[in-house]
């Protein structure tokens, strides 16, 4: 299996995993964020397909602002008094998703030097950056569902620096 085929498969599995998590989540805002992450993984797979050719003419990936979108979702949820109650098993699944994002980031950074074209390398580094953003989002989601009352009282979603 080529690097590109592996990356496409990895992204497809990630999208399916996020959609499954969304179905299991009892919270509408968390469901929205997980579906958004699934859509992002689909976009990553499309970008990898585009760069897999021998002479990648167009291997650009649109800029995304997944962190800002998630922040808006959770800000609205807070304004409408939505509660964030979840089971321990659900939190474990979010931790598993975080681990997958971290491994995906490492994969793209490692493989960036193995692809033949500079544009392919550039896209792999960009994909690694996107996976890092997803990891930040999941870290915050884990914190939110683990300590909802304390967490929501702290001013804004995302207690970490943005990229």
CATH number at residue 45: 1.20.1260.10
Higher pLDDT pick, 78 / 11: 11
Taking the alpha carbons at both ends of the chain, their separation in whole angstroms is 33
Has residue 162 been placed in a domain?
no
Has residue 160 been placed in a domain?
no
Q: Of 24, 16, 22, 26, nearest to 35 (Cα)?
A: 22
Range of the domain at 117: 3-52+63-153
Sign of CA dihedral 149, 152, 153, 154: positive
pLDDT-derived band at 83, boundaries 50, 70, 90: low
Least confident of 3-17, 20-34, 77-91, 94-108: 77-91
Least confident of 19-23, 26-30, 37-41, 59-63: 59-63
Reported as half-sphere exposure (CB side, CA atoms, 13 A), residue 156 has a value of 11
Q: What is the per-residue pLDDT for 61?
A: 62
Q: Is 24 left (phi over 0), alpha (psi -120 to 50) or beta?
A: alpha
Has residue 41 been placed in a domain?
yes
Has residue 158 been placed in a domain?
no
Residues 37-51 pLDDT 10s:
999 999 999 999 888
Has residue 58 been placed in a domain?
no
pLDDT-derived band at 155, boundaries 50, 70, 90: very low
Q: In total, how many domains does the chain have?
A: 1
Q: What is the per-residue pLDDT for 163?
A: 42
Has residue 57 been placed in a domain?
no
């Amino acid at each position: 299996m080529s690097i590109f085929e592996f990356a496409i498969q990895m992204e497809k599995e990630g999208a399916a995993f996020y959609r499954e998590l969304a179905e299991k989540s009892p919270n509408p805002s968390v469901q929205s964020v997980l579906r958004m992450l699934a859509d992002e993984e689909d976009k990553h797979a499309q970008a990898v397909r585009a760069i897999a050719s021998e002479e990648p003419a167009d291997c650009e990936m649109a800029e995304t602002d997944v962190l800002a979108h998630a922040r808006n979702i959770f800000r609205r949820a807070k304004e409408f008094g939505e509660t964030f109650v979840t089971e321990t098993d659900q939190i474990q699944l979010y931790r598993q998703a975080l681990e997958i994002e971290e491994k995906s980031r490492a994969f793209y950074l490692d493989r960036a030097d193995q692809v033949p074209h500079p544009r392919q390398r550039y896209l792999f580094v960009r994909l690694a950056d996107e996976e890092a953003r997803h990891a930040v989002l999941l870290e915050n989601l884990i914190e939110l569902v683990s300590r909802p009352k304390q967490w929501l009282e702290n001013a804004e979603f995302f207690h970490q620096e943005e990229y």
